Each structure stands twice: as structure tokens, then as C-alpha cells.
Amino acid sequence: MTQFINGNWRDGDGHPMASFNPANGEQLWQGNAATSAQVDAAVAAARSAQFDWFMLGFEGRLKQVEAYRTQLEVHRELLAETIAQETGKPRWETATEVTAMIGKIALSAKAYQQRTGTSENALPVARAVLRHKPHGVVAVFGPYNFPAHLPNGHIVPALLAGNTVIFKPSELTPKVAELMVKLWQQSGVAAGVINLVQGEVETGKALAGHEGIDGLFFTGSSRTGHLLHQQFGGHPGKILALEMGGNNPLIVKDVADIKAAVHEIIQSAYISSGQRCTCARRLFVQQGAQGDALIDMLIKAVKAIKVGPWNAEPQPFMGAMVSETAALGMLAAQQHLQQLGGQSLVVMQQLQVGTGLVSPGLMDVTSVAELPDEEYFGPLLQLIRYQQFDEAIVMANSTRYGLSAGLLADSRADFDYFFARSRAGIVNWNKQITGAAGSAPFGGIGASGNHRPSAFYAADYCAYPVASMEADTLSLPATLSPGLTL
Ligand SMILES: NC(=O)C1=CN([C@@H]2O[C@H](COP(=O)(O)OP(=O)(O)OC[C@H]3O[C@@H](n4cnc5c(N)ncnc54)[C@H](O)[C@@H]3O)[C@@H](O)[C@H]2O)C=CC1
Ligand SMILES: O=C(O)CCC(=O)N[C@@H](CCC(=O)O)C(=O)O
């Protein structure tokens, strides 16, 4: 049973699908994709449930969402293990993913009140009241790298605002999605409030193009996000929130504690095997003895990173990439950069054929004249040596993306200078550029987003404002407008 439509589990009527443990090829899940008729049924179920869900009121909806939080708390280990098996991420890391999901409930309730709540202003003859209403039926599309936390970051605020949801997860992580929705079901949510359609691109297209949805909240690649943006062209009445990738820069300038800098670089570039949209892809280090010393230490530290299956003990820092295909794609990217003139300082290698297990790579691309502005979504960091800070900032900004950026530097003045000039939605100082806070907005500019940031600001795209002028009784004004007689 792979699809959850109107409160019932049923098989997909489409083609067969499966998911695998990327560290050993073991099959974890199988089922069939949803057809477009099943997408129709899910949209219809969400539509017929929506008004009653809205009319529960915020407190009623929050109670339901809190019952889901209880399910997450009770089943946190099972969920963390399922995410680890299906994505390859180590257990220590997926435990933090589930913790973030649990924290999302209180944060989203606070965000709803702060950003989209109700307010009232007294006017001389009336009250000006501001309330927010849900869009209606929304589709949520998730990526594979955080298969639970990131869709959860759309689903929870969407439901709290009074929307009903059709969730289309990544085809690489159907088992995680199924478990998430089972926990919603066990929390007692009414039929049709959350629906699950599993499938690949065809299912995604059927849902994204469905005339019955009022909006789509997407986290995924820039390529797919751009396709969706085109598809939504000509539909100004539908809301589209796009959280996409990045080609994120991290600059190092004048740091006394080189070891601490190396630690922040590794946490920025290699966490989740480089499969975070916020990961540093380009590292800028000044020419000179201090830069040389930092790079020597970085090379040693990268070579020492432990890579292994999700359940290896002691735990590795990096697990398998999500699939062998993804791993081979990264090796091809490495080869391409080498052909352009990049010098590998640490060569990325597949550790076991048939798996997504790869070692981390570091490449000096300073001499590459035309560095591709691509998001290589894996553990490969490109190093660029620079002479002047201004030159580094110009190169850092030389990307069509604009998700995260960072500076490691001892001087506050250097950060202020960098902050004023950098173009990204997340700009950090002396902190890794991965691991964003759910209490802040999360999104980027350029090809990284469409100005509808998620996390704390997700509330904004889940509801629209309604302004009302209200008076308890009718009354005639003291003076009538010129030309009126009653
Ligand atoms: N800015 C952000 O918040 C984040 C962005 N990402 C980005 O996500 C990417 C990795 O995730 P992926 O799962 O590979 O992304 P993806 O774009 O391949 O897939 C995302 C979702 O869209 C669906 N989809 C794919 N093609 C479609 C089409 N033509 N029409 C409709 N639906 C379609 C997929 O089935 C999946 O559910 C990276 O680029 C990463 O940077 C990942 C996490 C956070
Ligand atoms: O949505 C939130 O609560 C904050 C955003 C977040 O958790 N971002 C993570 C993962 C996103 C990614 O890089 O793929 C992060 O910044 O590490």
C-alpha cells in the first residue's frame, strides 16, 4: 500500500518503484507509482476536507498537529533509522533530523501567530481587523537529502494555517514518506487533510499541473524548480514557494585559530556527504604562508574523515551518498574539473562498487579559467586561492545562485565589509554555513529561490491576509458626502 488518499491506504496503479540502502544495495521498499487518476482522487479528497479543517480554528488544528508531534516523539528511533537506511546518512545525523521535525511544531505555531496572526486597530468609526486565511489545497514536494525534515517544514505550517496537503516525496525516499504519513494517520488526522502520492517525475508533473491545487511548496533542485516556475507562469492566483540549490562560497581571511577554521570548513562542505543545499562548494583562501598552513591541515583532516554505512560503529562522519548513480555523477564532475585544469589535493573515490560510498574530495581550481557555475551535490570542495579580499568577494558572488555564504575571519570589520557586499539569503561569520536555524527564515536569491523563504517565514506563504473594516452596528455618518440626500 503506497498511496494515502482520503484516509485510506491503497496500491498505486502506475509502474513499479523501489528504494534501496545505498551502502549495500539491499531493497528496502517496493510499490507502484500513483497514476494521474489517483492524483485527481488525492486532490479531490484534499478539497472536500479543507473547509472543515479550516473551521476547526487555529487551536483545533494545533491540537491535531501536536498529536502528530507525540507520534514523532514515540517513534523517533524508528524514523531516524528509516531515514538513515534509505538515504545512507549516519544514525547520529538522522537523529538530529527527527529532533528538528519535533521542534518544527512549536516554531511553526509561534511563526503563525507572529507573522500571520490576527490584529485589530481602532478607527474613529470602525475597527480595522487583519486576519489570515489558508490558500486551500496545496502540494508539497520534497527532496531526498532531508526526506522528512524538509517536507515537514512545509507540511506543518501549511496545515496549521488551515490548508490541506498532497505530499509528493522524492522517489528515492518513499519508505520515509510512508512512515511519516502513517504517523499522521496514527495521530488521528481527519481523512483528506493529508494525502500521499508516491511516484517519479510523471506523478510530480500530474500534481504540479493539476488545476485543483491552489499552491505548491517545493524543496529540490534548481532545475526542477525552474521547470515548475515555467509551469506556474500565467497562474498569478496560485502560490509557488521554491527552495532550491546553491553554489555556495566560504572565504577564509586572517584567522588565528587555523584548526577551528578547518573544522568549520569540514562541517560546511562534507556534512551529509556534501548533500545539503547549504554546503560550501567553493572555498577561498588567501595566498601566503597562513593560507598554505591552513590548506595543509585541511588536506590531512579531509583524508582522515571516516566514511561508512549508516549503522557502522564507531559512527562515521559521512555516510553513503543517496545512490551509486549520485556517487558516479560526482566522480564525473571531479573528472570534468580536472580536465578543465583543476588539481586534486584529495581525490574523491568510490569506496565500494555498487554503492554510494565515496570518500571526500578537495580540488584546487584556482587556475581554471571558466569554472562551471554548477551545484555539484556531493562531497567535493573546490579551492580557490586569492590575493585581495575584494577579489575573493567578487568571485564568491560570481554565481547565478545565492543561498548561503560565509566568512571565517577574526575581524568584525572584515565581516561587516563582506556582509554588505555578499549576495545570499544566509550569510554567516565564523560559523559553518550548513545547519540553519528553524527560528530564522531559510531561503536564497537568484537561482536559489523565488523570494518565499521557508523555515520561520513559511507561515507567510501558507496564508493570505484579509483586511476587514468592521462595526457592530450600522450608523449614519454625522455628515453626508456632498450631493447625497437621505
Ligand atoms: N533550498 C533548500 O531549502 C534545499 C534545496 N535542496 C536541493 O534539492 C536538490 C536535491 O534534491 P532532489 O531530490 O535531487 O531534487 P529534485 O528536484 O530532483 O526533486 C525534488 C522533487 O521534485 C520532483 N520532481 C522532479 N522533477 C519534476 C518535474 N519535472 N515536475 C514535477 N516534479 C518533479 C521529484 O520527484 C521530487 O519529489 C539539490 O539541488 C539541493 O540543493 C535540498 C534541500 C534544501
Ligand atoms: O527548515 C528549517 O528548519 C531550517 C532549514 C534547515 O534545516 N536547513 C538545513 C538543511 C537544508 C539543506 O541544506 O539541504 C541546513 O541548513 O543544514
- For ligand 2, atom 3, the nearest C-alpha belongs to 438
Q: What is d(CA 415, CA 66) in angstroms, rounded to the nearest whole number?
A: 40
Pick the closest to residue 24 from 248, 334, 357, 306 (CA basis). Answer: 357
Burial of residue 261 (number of CB atoms within 10 Å: 0-12, 13-18, 19+): buried
Percent of the chain with pLDDT over 90: 99
**In this structure, which ligand is nearest to the CA of 222?**
1
Q: What is d(CA 9, CA 41) in angstroms, rounded to the nearest whole number?
A: 13
The answer to whether the beta carbons of residues 163 and 136 sit under 8 Å apart is: yes
Give the residue, out of 170, 434, 439, 448, with the most ligand 2 atoms within 8 A of its beta carbon, to mutate for a pocket test: 434
- For ligand 2, atom 1, the nearest C-alpha belongs to 455
What amino acid is encoded at 1 in this protein? Answer: M
pLDDT greater than 90 at residue 1? no
pLDDT tens digit sequence for 171-212: 999 999 999 999 999 999 999 999 999 999 999 999 999 999
pLDDT tens digit sequence for 448-472: 999 999 999 999 999 999 999 999 9
Q: What's the whole-number mean pLDDT along residues 406-428?
A: 98
Written in H, E and C, the secondary structure of 334-358 is HHHHHHCCCEEEECCCECCCCCCCE
**144 ligand 1 Cβ < 6 A:** yes
Give the C-alpha distances (Å, rounded to integers) separating 270 from 32, 60, 215: 34, 42, 34
pLDDT greater than 90 at residue 125? no
pLDDT tens digit sequence for 270-323: 999 999 999 999 999 999 999 999 999 999 999 999 999 999 999 999 999 999
> How many CB atoms are closer than 10 A to CB 300?
11
Catalytic residue among 86, 277, 279, 375: 277
Q: Is 434 annotated as a binding residue?
A: no
Give the residue, out of 96, 150, 222, with the most ligand 2 atoms within 8 A of its beta carbon, to mutate for a pocket test: 150
What amino acid is encoded at 311 in this protein? Answer: N
Q: Is 225 annotated as a binding residue?
A: yes
**199 ligand 1 Cβ < 6 A:** no
Catalytic residue among 86, 97, 243, 324: 243
Ligand 2 nearest-atom number relative to CA 104? 3
Q: Is 224 annotated as a binding residue?
A: yes
Whether 243 is catalytic: yes
**In this structure, which ligand is nearest to the CA of 244?**
1
pLDDT tens digit sequence for 225-281: 999 999 999 999 999 999 999 999 999 999 999 999 999 999 999 999 999 999 999
Of the listed ranges 383-387, 438-442, 473-477, the least confidently predicted one is 473-477
**227 ligand 1 Cβ < 6 A:** yes
Burial of residue 429 (number of CB atoms within 10 Å: 0-12, 13-18, 19+): middle
Whether 178 is catalytic: no
Pick the closest to residue 9 from 158, 170, 178 (CA basis). Answer: 178
Q: What's the whole-number mean pLDDT along residues 131-146?
A: 98
Q: Return the pLDDT at 89.
A: 98
DSSP assignment of 397-431 equals T-SS--SEEEEEES-HHHHHHHHHH---SEEEESS
Q: What angle do CA 208, 177, 87 make, to 5 degrees?
A: 105
Q: How confident is the model at residue 124 (pLDDT cuts 50, 70, 90)?
A: confident
Q: Return the pLDDT at 44.
A: 98
